[in-house]
């Protein structure tokens, strides 16, 4: 199972919006609405931001939103803040009844 493809880095100024893509296949992202997103600040465990494509756990700001079209899922961060600087990973359930993570994206706040 190959890792899902994410851009290595995205950047934006405070207050701007950034979008991180996560491209898979019709055996994972395209097959199920079971895509999640995780935020990982340096030297910290990942934190769940979005599950089942677009659902936010309680406590996650509504600046974070998710969507999916075909084999590509997206995480949108609106109103970018300095504290959003971190690595972000997508994850999808697969037709093999396994999970696969994305390659990871570093978000830089300019």
Cβ atoms 4, 28 nearer than 8 A: yes
Minimum Å distance from CB 15 to other proteins?
A: 28
Rounded CA-CA distance 68/27 in Å is 14
Nearer to other proteins, 42 or 62 (CB): 42
Among 27, 30, 31, 34, binds other proteins (CB under 8 A): 34
- How do beta strands 72-77 and 64-69 pair? antiparallel
Q: At a CB cut-off of 8 Å and minimum separation 6, what does 44 contact?
A: none
Residues numbered 50-69 forming contacts with other proteins, rule: CB under 8 A: 51-52, 57
Nearer to other proteins, 34 or 63 (CB): 34
Q: Is 2 helix (H, G, I), strand (E, B) or coil?
A: coil
Q: Which residues bind other proteins (CB under 8 A)?
A: 1, 3, 32, 34-36, 38, 40, 45-48, 51-52, 57, 87, 89, 91-93, 97-104
């Amino acid at each position: 199972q190959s890792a899902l493809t994410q851009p290595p880095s995205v950047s934006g100024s405070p207050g701007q919006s950034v979008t991180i893509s996560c491209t898979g296949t019709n055996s994972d992202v395209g097959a199920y609405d079971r895509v999640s997103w995780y935020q990982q600040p340096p030297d910290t465990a990942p934190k769940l931001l979005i599950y089942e494509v677009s659902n936010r756990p309680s406590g996650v700001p509504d600046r974070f939103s998710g969507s999916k079209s075909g084999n590509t899922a997206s995480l949108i961060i609106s109103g970018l803040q300095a504290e959003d600087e971190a690595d972000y990973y997508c994850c999808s359930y697969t037709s093999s009844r396994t999970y696969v993570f994305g390659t990871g994206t570093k978000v830089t706040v300019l």
